[in-house]
Every structure is written in C-alpha cells, then in structure tokens.
Amino acid sequence: MNLMSRLQEPNILIAPGVYDALTAALATEAGFEALYLSGAAVAYTRLGRPDIGLTSVSEVAETMAMIRDRVELPVIMDADTGFGNALNAQRTMRLFERAGANALQVEDQTFPKRCGHLSEKSLIPASEMAGKIAAMADARQSDETLIIARTDAIAVEGLEAALTRAEAYVSAGADILFIEAPRSGDELRQVVEEFGDRIPLLANMVEGGATPLQSAADLEALGYDIVIFPGGIVRALARTAVDYYASLHAHGTNRPFADRMFDFGGLNDRIGTDEMLKLGKRYESG
C-alpha cells in the first residue's frame, strides 16, 4: 500500500504501536492497515529503560528489519532526532529505508531527546530542523518513503511557536505534520484549522499523556489523517506481566493464570508454526 495514496482517503489511518516482529504480526492479524514502530516501545522492551534517547540507530534499524521480515504492512518508523545532525539524519534515512520503513518521523528536540509527553524538553533551532528535513528528503531512495516532521514546541514555547515551527517544516519538504502533545481539544482543533487543508496531520494518543485521549472517530471528525497509539501495547503487556509473575511467585504454578494466557499450542497457532514446518518439509523433499 502506498501510504500517501491511502492518506487521500477520507477515513483516518489507525497505526498501532509495535516493538518487535511478534507484536507486528499480531497487529497485522487484527486487521490494521499500517503499523507504528515506536522508539519509546523499543527502549522499554529492548533496554528496560525510559524513552530518553538511550537507544542507538543500529538497534532501531535492526528491529525494523526483523519486523519487515515478518510482515508486509507499511511501517511508520520513529527516527527520534535523526540520531544527530543533518548528516546523521541522512544516514538514518538510508538505514531505515533499507530496513523496510515506509515513513520516518523526525523531531526537533535536542539530543538526547525525551518522550514527547515528558517535561523539561529542549529544542534545536527551527532552521536546523528544517535542514534535517531537507537532508532526509535528499537522501531517500524512493519518493514513496515519507517524512513526518514532529515539533515538540507546545510544551517548551507554546502553541503559537509550535505552529510557526510547523510552517517552516512544511516549507522544508515534510510530507506529514505531527505537532506533539496538544493540551486540549481546542489545541487539537487549532492545528487542523492551520494546516488541515494543506498537509496530512498525525495525532498521538498516549494513555496518561498531555493530550486528552480521543477516539479515532473523534480525530477523524476534527480533520486528522493518522492516529498512532505508540506505547499502548507495552503498557498493556507490562501490566499483564506484573500480574503473571506475581501469580507464579505466589502459587509456584501457572494454573491460576491459565485463562489469561495462550497455552503452548495456542501461541504456536498464532505464529504459524505448523505452516512453517510444512513449508520446511516441502523444501526438504525437493
């Protein structure tokens, strides 16, 4: 699926967050049209650490490559700050595009960055961010690989400054605009009023974050084109894991938890074990 063509359709694109090949496969099976590889989710799961710029470009690229080996859906990829200056951002574009990303999201925070819904963020100059966007556009191999420009300015400088920065990023060649962490429904609406008829808009729904949670239908009615739920899967699985380990520690068995988990065969059914074994036998027989 060509992402930009899909964004011309009236219904909003829902991209759930994933962090590895298993979650990507399960999200695909659930019927979504696109996926969002969350940098925060990679930090949470691969490092067991917060989203404060600790992951490396190679770790995220490797994750993308493993997801692409498993699923065919378009993947929107969190490229953080581009992992450095404009030249680093170009290298990030080349690495992630080769790994199979269909869109790269880059933000205007200083490095090391913070999760968009954490406080005490700081920003690079708008001109520097515009240069990164232009550099990434020059480096991409396919015009179908989209650049999503994210500004974190609302929390640092306010909404008007965020809108001004966003204007510069559109001029620099961004394909999609992502104004992070609006603090109210009114701010979500003002973003659409300013840019909705000029460029596709992305909204970010974070449970417990700065933006009031909206449904996809609500955001579509406002005029947004994409909504991501980046770290929700990790928060859901982490809650389940806490309960699972507590139960196992308390009872010394998984019997009390059995109705909340797949058994051996159930998980193998989900990941297609029988189909892969049959395929292997076909190759063995020539």
> How many Å is the maximal CA-CA distance in the chain?
66
Higher pLDDT, 271 or 286: 271
Mean pLDDT (the chain, rounded): 95
Mean pLDDT over 50-79 rounds to 96
Measured CA to CA, the distance from residue 152 to residue 158 in angstroms comes to 9
Would the pLDDT of 104 be above 90?
yes
Q: For 145-166, how does the pLDDT look when each residue is reduced to its tens digit (9 = 90+)?
A: 999 999 999 999 999 999 999 9
Percent of the chain having pLDDT more than 90?
93
Pick the closest to residue 38 from 86, 50, 29, 30 (CA basis).
50
Q: Which two tokens stand for residue 221?
A: 């009615």
Whether 108 contacts 165, CB under 8 Å:
yes
| pLDDT, position 118 | 64
pLDDT confidence tier of residue 119, bands split at 50, 70 and 90 = low
Which H, E and C letters describe 105-165, residue by residue? EEECECCCCCCCCCCCCCECCHHHHHHHHHHHHHHCCCCCCEEEEEECHHHHHCHHHHHHH
What's the whole-number mean pLDDT along residues 191-199? 97
What are the tens digits of pLDDT across the range 30-61? 999 999 999 999 999 999 999 888 999 999 99
Q: Tell me: pLDDT of 16 over 80.
A: yes
d(CA 99, CA 84): 19
**Contact by Cβ (8 Å): 213, 205:** yes
Contact yes or no for 27/16 (Cβ under 8 A): yes
Give the pLDDT mean for 222-249.
Answer: 97
pLDDT of residue 116 exceeding 90, the answer is no
Of 87, 125, 83, 82, the C-alpha closest to 105 is 82
Per-residue pLDDT, averaged over 84-88, amounts to 97
CA 90, CA 141: separation in Å to the nearest integer?
Answer: 11
Q: Which of 109-118, 228-237, 274-283 has the lowest mean pLDDT?
A: 109-118
Q: Do residues 202 and 174 touch, judged by C-beta distance below 8 A?
A: no
Q: Is the pLDDT score of 125 beyond 70?
A: yes
Is the model's pLDDT at 113 over the cut of 90? no
